[in-house]
Amino acid sequence: MKIFRYILCAILFLQVSDLLAGQWSEAYEVMYRFDVIVTYKAKLDGDVLLIEATHASEWHTYSMDNIERARKKSGKEDPETELPTRIEISGGLKVSGNWYQTDPIELSQPEILWYTWGFEKVSLFAVKVERTEGEEVKITINGQACNATLCSMVDDAAILLPLPSKEKFASENKYSAFDFSSLVKVFHTR
């Protein structure tokens, strides 16, 4: 009887994982004191992992390539700038392409030689992925969120996303219809 229950639970888990594929995860809220300043959520669209950041009014975060952009603009090897958004994935997916992001807005202050780029309102990050072992993917986001007067760290914001079975991913979920043309490729100099 116990074996039957374990098998039934495993089947139900796999069916729920398959149903949830393609739906947004629960939102991870980054707080400053008592206010939500940015929320992150993720979903799998075929073979594309999408991560959405929604910023509270007057708050912004920074592009994945903020340091590279500041390096290029300032000519300095180690420019002073805000921390970029960093996204790591582990578990049942691995990155198989380049990262893309919403085209960041320039937030630079050239009069003080401070160069920085970021996002307000809603931004999106996307990357092609391959299915590996595991029933879920863990997405970890780090960076910095600021408003006009202060900044707060985004430390290890973690999203767990159930994945479709390897077989389902390989067949019907393999290819995404996601249109990358609304995003820009993350710039890397190294």
Domains of the chain: 2-185 (2.60.40.1250)
- Give residue 27's pLDDT: 97
Q: How far is the C-alpha of 24 from the C-alpha of 180, rounded, in Å?
A: 18
Its pTM stands at 0.85
Res 185: pLDDT: 97
Give the residue carrying structure tokens 């393609």: 22
Query: In the prediction, which pLDDT does 172 show?
Result: 63
Give pLDDT, residue 12: 35
pLDDT, position 174 = 62
HEC secondary structure over the chain? CHHHHHHHHHHHHHHHHHHHCCCCCCCEEEEECCEEEEEEEEEEECCEEEEEEEECCCCEEECCCHHHHHHHHHCCCCCCCCCCCEEEEEECEEECCCCEECCCEECCEHHHCECCEEECCEEEEEEEEEECCCCEEEEEEEEEEECCCCEEEEEEEEEEEECCCHHHHHCCCCCCCCCHHHCEECCCCC
How far, CA to CA in Å, does 92 sit from each of 9, 162, 173? 20, 9, 14
Residue carrying structure tokens 């997405």: 139
Q: What is the pLDDT of residue 45?
A: 93
Question: Low-confidence residues of the chain, pLDDT below 70?
Answer: 1-21, 172-175, 189-190
Q: Determine the pLDDT at residue 5.
A: 43
pLDDT at 19: 41
**CA–CA dist 4, 169 (Å, integer):** 27
The span from the CA of 178 to the CA of 25, in Å, is 18
pLDDT value at residue 15 = 40
pLDDT of residue 7: 39
pLDDT of residue 149: 95
pLDDT, tens digit (0-9, with 9 covering 90-100), for 49-67: 999 999 999 999 999 999 9
